Amino acid sequence: MTISTINQYWTSRMNGEDPTAITGQSNTPFVASGAGGSIVGGEYVITNQTFSISPSITDATIVACFAYTAAPDNGEVLMALDTGTHRVEVQATGDSQTLKIVGTSTVTTRNLDLAKADTFDPVPLIARLTLDSSGKARLYLREQVTDGLGANSYYEVTGSSSTSESIKWGNTTGTVKWANVFVSTFGAFSPDEMATSPFVTDTLIRMGLGIVQTLKDSKRFYLKNFVSDSSIVYGYDISSQMISRIPPPSIHVLLTKTDSPTFTALGGTKVDQMFTVTMFITTRGTDYEEAYRTGASILGDSFDELYTTTGLKGNTDSLIDFTVNFDTKRDDDEVVCVHRLEMTYMRRTNMHHR
């Protein structure tokens, strides 16, 4: 997983306004082809118009939220990414229930409910299309990476060969209500690597999920040899029932608080954000002493890895304090130990990329 950095962001953002008249710093407007589009009720409704940018890219991401008034024809290209070596398209299928992702092969999605039926309104769909430099293309729906069982829920193909560079969206048939379209020319980012909300990217992803990935990538003694990647997780649910599903030794990372007590620049263009991150290191041993010492070693490797790789970046990312609570045996038959590490990070963020 390649989590976006503070210098990687959405380079074009359309929120229902005229896509060719986008304003704001670091926000590139789209170039229109055709004239069959207009603003209606906060959405850009298209009957015959497409929009594109032509950046120099090796990989890219486009995220759109849209619904149908009338389904486009089968084969209508709704979104396309073209890196100059590979191309991938999201195409309509002629109905309101499915889409297809097209590269060297074609994969069709499951039911989507994109248009109004007799008894219900259309369900706006969030569709994220990514294409990396190797030609791997993925289509994520509703910003889901995995399903409830942990299996991958995206659609994947290999991009077809190409010689041009562009990012394109729109439609020339049917009627499509485009509510939002975000583009990044910095990478092929999954929903777990860059969110549509910069605030969520700064907090949950770059800090919370970023720490999880840093620990998984570590080569330190105990992290490398004794804690499996599947046992290093973000703690969405740290109830005893959920923790018991992951075999120890395990590490649960939890972002418990973020605040910005003082803006760095007038007008809030630069903000120093404080992040409180809590980690629960759970171990089991033949006796409590073994669990305690193993947990302390894992905690030590975790702290050393995070301190050296994420906490010493000067004016962009600093680890400014930490607290460790070592667990204590309370029951005669207790063999499970849970140590707790709490850290405070300070990160300087550019607020223009909104």
Q: For the ranges 34-38, 99-103, 188-192, 328-332, which has the lowest average pLDDT?
A: 328-332
Cβ partners under 8 Å of residue 251, min gap 6: 215, 227, 231, 232, 233, 279, 280, 281, 282, 298, 302
Average pLDDT over residues 91-110: 95
Compute CA distances 66 → 7, 88, 142, 266, whole Å.
28, 19, 11, 37
**pLDDT: is 240 or 142 the higher one?**
142
Tokens standing for 71? 């389904």
Q: Are strands 31-40 and 12-14 parallel, antiparallel or unpaired?
A: unpaired
Please give the mean pLDDT across all residues of the chain: 90
| pLDDT at 315 (0 to 100) | 58
> Binning pLDDT at 50, 70 and 90, where does residue 120 land?
low
What's the pLDDT tens digit per position in 133-155? 999 999 999 999 887 666 788 99
Q: What is the pLDDT, as a whole number, of residue 281?
A: 95
Query: Across residues 7-14, what is the average pLDDT?
Result: 92
Point out which residues pair with 38 in neighbouring strands.
45
Q: How far from chain centre, in Å, is Cα 200?
A: 9
Q: What is residue 123's predicted lDDT score, i.e. its pLDDT?
A: 74
At 124, is the pLDDT very low, low, confident or very high (cuts 50, 70, 90)? Answer: confident
Question: Does pLDDT of 75 surpass 70?
Answer: yes
Q: How many CB atoms lie within 10 A of CB 126?
A: 17
Torsion, CA 150, CA 155, CA 161, CA 166, rounded to 10: -100
Contact 255, 204 (CB under 8 A): yes
For the chain, the residue count is 354
pLDDT band at 62 (very low <50, low <70, confident <90, very high): very high
Name the fold adopted by 198-350: STM4215-like (3.30.2000)
3-state helix, strand, coil in the chain (%, to 5): 15, 40, 40
Query: What pLDDT does 24 receive?
Result: 72
Mean pLDDT of 302-314: 84
Question: What pLDDT was estimated at residue 228?
Answer: 95
Domain span(s) for CATH 3.30.2000 in the chain: 198-350
Q: What is the DSSP letter of 244?
A: T
* pLDDT value for 101: 97
For residue range 153-208, list pLDDT tens digits in order. Answer: 899 999 999 989 999 999 999 999 999 999 999 999 999 999 999 889 988 998 99
Give the pLDDT of residue 149. Answer: 64
CB 129 within 8 A of CB 102: no
12-184 CATH choice from 3.40.50.300, 2.60.120.200, 1.10.10.10, 3.30.9.10:
2.60.120.200
- Bigger pLDDT: 41 or 353? 41
Residues of each domain in the chain carrying CATH 2.60.120.200: 12-184
Distances (CA, A) of 250 to 113, 224, 301: 40, 12, 13
Higher pLDDT, 281 or 202: 281
> What per-residue confidence (pLDDT) applies to 119?
53
Q: Is the pLDDT of residue 108 over 80?
A: yes
pLDDT of residue 236: 86
Select the more confidently predicted residue: 238 or 206. 206
For CA atoms 175, 179, 5, 352, the dihedral sign is positive
Amino acid 229: pLDDT: 94
Rounded Cα–Cα distance for residues 124 and 272 (Å): 35
